[in-house]
């Protein structure tokens, strides 16, 4: 793997000394301690000796909410019932849909659970819980032997309370995950989202002992039965908060530098951020502090800072000749990828392109289609079309460059399937 990475940088003549950080999904082949990619890159003389490596924020949130013991058993039982109702037979699936439609249930079908990287458990649980009473009725009327076992599980108040709690907490975690996804997310925005959620967990713990305002589904169960013990749910959230703290410890190494870039006019020149910048990013601490004071007294930049985004401010308006050390420090966190979202999104686009209806898709066409699908540029289709002559259904261009014709061929396919 290390050879493939090095070949990629050599091919495009990229300087590995300028590589600041590596964001991974935590795979052992990437983050191992001896022969894996990150270790080999860190120890390579061609690479930046201060190379930062950390786990993707989005994948961390998925790992943080892995279930244990009792809750894992509850989730497994729910998935068994989902598979029984949804996938045991096509006849039963049709009967279930007809039953839910007849009773005007909130949802007329169940999702078949897939254990994918992104959190899907929350969506599955939300649908399952919303039609729980209808499912009980359906199982009660079923003549299958296993239906009685599943019905017995759903009639247990502790099991139903646990399902309600998992539905609520996964909804909160899914909301966090959605906030962390998307293009153009800067590392301090992602870190702020994680810190915000950690504080919400404290609120959730206190809320479980009171009115359960943030757990509406659990509140419905408790309102019908006051004997439900919420202690295990408090323990779950306490463990979740500790897991967040441990898993995001790597980001604490750059937390102060990231914070001053998003609130530079409220930071002290001799704060902890200057030590962090010197240790992690190799900045000249003395020069950085002097530039910081000059920068904070520049009223023109101060007004501009309030008008534009942080990214646009540091790239367009901060003069490198006047504040070289400060600008260099700002550019480094701006280039950090807090997540592997872009990579995951590219995989999704490739799966969409390589569908079962494609029988003549070559590697070259796939590469061109991926370039088109992943670019932010909007092509001038009228101008491109005017430069091509099409004969029948085959692709012919006025140009001799076959790559140009292939790119346009890919664009034509994307327009067709879009």
pLDDT of residue 406 exceeding 60: no
The answer to whether 288 touches 326, Cβ cutoff 8 Å, is yes
Q: Which helix (H) or strand (E) holds 62?
A: helix 57-64
Instruction: Reply yes or no on whether the pLDDT at 352 is more than 80.
Output: yes
Give the N- to C-terminal CA distance of the chain in Å, as an integer: 35
- Tokens in use for 284? 């000249």
Contact status, residue 143 vs residue 112, Cβ threshold 8 Å? no
Which is it for strands 52-55 and 21-24: parallel, antiparallel or unpaired?
A: parallel
Regarding predicted confidence, which is higher, 86 or 320?
320
**What is the pLDDT at residue 277?**
87
pLDDT digits (tens, 9 = 90+) for 118-133: 446 667 788 888 888 8
| Residue 175 C-beta-side C-alpha neighbours within 13 Å | 10
Mean pLDDT of the chain: 78
Using CA atoms in the order 250, 188, 371, 355, what is the torsion angle rounded to 10 degrees?
70
Q: What is the DSSP letter of 394?
A: B
Residue 110 has which token pair? 């169940």
Reported confidence tier of residue 250, pLDDT bands at 50, 70, 90: confident
Burial profile 143-158: b = 16 or more Cβ within 10 angstroms, e = fewer: eeeebeebbebbeeee
Give pTM, 2 decimals: 0.73
Residue 418's pLDDT band, with cuts at 50, 70 and 90, is very low
Distance CA 217, CA 129 (A): 8
Average pLDDT over residues 365-383: 82
| pLDDT tens track for 173-215 | 888 888 888 877 888 888 888 889 999 999 999 999 888 899 9
């Amino acid at each position: 793997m290390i050879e493939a990475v090095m070949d990629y940088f050599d091919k495009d003549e990229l300087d590995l000394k300028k590589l600041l950080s590596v964001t991974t999904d935590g795979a052992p082949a990437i983050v191992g301690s001896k022969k894996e990619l990150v270790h080999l890159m860190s120890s390579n003389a061609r690479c930046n000796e201060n190379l930062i490596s950390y786990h993707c924020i989005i994948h961390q949130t998925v790992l943080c909410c892995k279930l244990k013991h009792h809750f894992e058993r509850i989730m497994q039982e729910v998935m068994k019932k989902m598979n029984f109702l949804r996938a045991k037979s096509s006849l039963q699936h049709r009967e279930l849909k007809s039953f839910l439609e007849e009773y005007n249930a909130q949802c007329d079908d169940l999702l078949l659970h897939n254990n994918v990287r992104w959190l899907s458990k929350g969506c599955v649980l939300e649908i399952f819980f919303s039609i729980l009473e209808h499912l009980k009725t359906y199982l009660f009327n079923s003549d299958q032997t296993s239906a009685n076992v599943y019905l017995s599980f759903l009639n247990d108040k502790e099991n139903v309370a646990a399902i309600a709690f998992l539905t609520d907490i996964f909804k909160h975690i899914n909301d966090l995950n959605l906030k962390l996804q998307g293009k153009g997310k800067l590392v301090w925005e992602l870190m702020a989202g994680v810190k915000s959620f950690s504080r919400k967990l404290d609120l959730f713990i206190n809320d479980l002992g009171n009115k359960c305002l943030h757990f509406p589904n659990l509140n419905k169960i408790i309102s019908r039965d006051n004997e439900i013990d919420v202690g295990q749910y408090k323990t779950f959230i306490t463990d979740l908060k500790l897991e967040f703290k441990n898993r995001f410890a790597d980001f604490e190494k750059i937390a102060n530098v990231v914070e001053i870039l998003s609130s530079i006019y409220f930071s002290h020149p001799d704060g902890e951020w200057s030590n962090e910048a010197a240790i992690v990013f190799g900045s000249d601490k003395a020069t950085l502090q002097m530039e910081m004071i000059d920068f904070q007294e520049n009223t023109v930049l101060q007004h501009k800072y309030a008008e534009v985004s942080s990214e646009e401010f540091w790239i367009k308006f901060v003069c490198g000749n006047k504040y070289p050390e400060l600008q260099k420090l700002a550019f480094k966190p701006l280039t950090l990828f807090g997540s592997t979202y872009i990579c995951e999104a590219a995989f999704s686009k490739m799966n969409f392109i390589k569908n079962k209806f494609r029988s003549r898709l070559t590697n070259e066409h796939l590469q061109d289609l991926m370039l088109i699908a992943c670019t932010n540029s909007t092509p001038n289709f009228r101008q491109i079309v005017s430069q091509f002559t099409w004969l029948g259904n085959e692709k012919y261009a006025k140009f001799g460059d076959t790559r140009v014709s292939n790119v346009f061929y890919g664009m034509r396919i994307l327009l067709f399937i879009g």
